[in-house]
Amino acid sequence: MLPLVPTYYGMRSLSLTLVLCLVLASATGAASPEYVLDSNTAFYEGETHNYVIPRPDRFRLITDEAARDGFSFAFIPEHDSYDSASVMITATIYRLTEKRFDEVLTADTTALREHYGPELVVRPVDSVFLFNGDPTKTFYVDDKTQFIPTVMVSYCDGGSEIVIFELNIVDGGLPRFLAESIFTRCLQHVKVLKKGQLGTDGP
């Protein structure tokens, strides 16, 4: 099983509502062929924004098992089980009340360093955008002295909430560069829409 590290323990994770996506497809614009809106699409209704998060190709959505580990949901390869997934994209949604986005980001990256130790390298990634062009704060995570499962972490600022995406792999499984590509493409298909706003075509 992937040794997952739920991000930012200091805030309460929010559950999400899932919807079948003939409705979503008409409400949020077209997705590219490898990102079909279906029953494995995650949908979360925030205070001021709606979030539409399609699964990567050949992945499936996990909610109950992910929630038990402190996440809002996870995507895993469609033929893997949650306990033995070779690669996993987790998402954790937190309501921002007293904390600001930058404070949560700092606390979360600090928690990662404390968990993995002083040799951990957290390096920013340039130009990772969501479907409608909104920027993310995305980081590579690595340690040249040991294998660590966490590969990338991305923070999306929705104003009233923050969504933290995390990419994890297993030792000897999918190569990092392939997992990173899946993760980046997943982010590029995430839609964060203001209430009442219709989606437009993206990547």
Q: The domain spanning residue 111 has which CATH number?
A: 3.40.1000
Per-residue pLDDT band for 62 (boundaries 50, 70, 90) equals very high
Query: Which tens digit of pLDDT belongs to each residue from 155-188?
Result: 998 888 889 999 999 999 899 999 999 999 999 9
Q: Total structural domains in the chain? A: 1
φ/ψ of 24, rounded to 5, equals -65, -40
Q: pLDDT for 101-130, tens place per residue?
A: 888 888 888 888 888 999 999 999 988 999
Q: How many whole angstroms from its chain centre is CA 27?
A: 22
Is 203 a domain residue?
A: no
In this model, does residue 23 exceed pLDDT 70?
no
Its domain, for residue 23, covers 17-194
Structural domain contains residue 7: no
Residue 171 in any domain: the answer is yes
Residue 83 lies inside a defined structural domain of this protein: yes
- Domain membership of residue 43 (yes or no) is yes
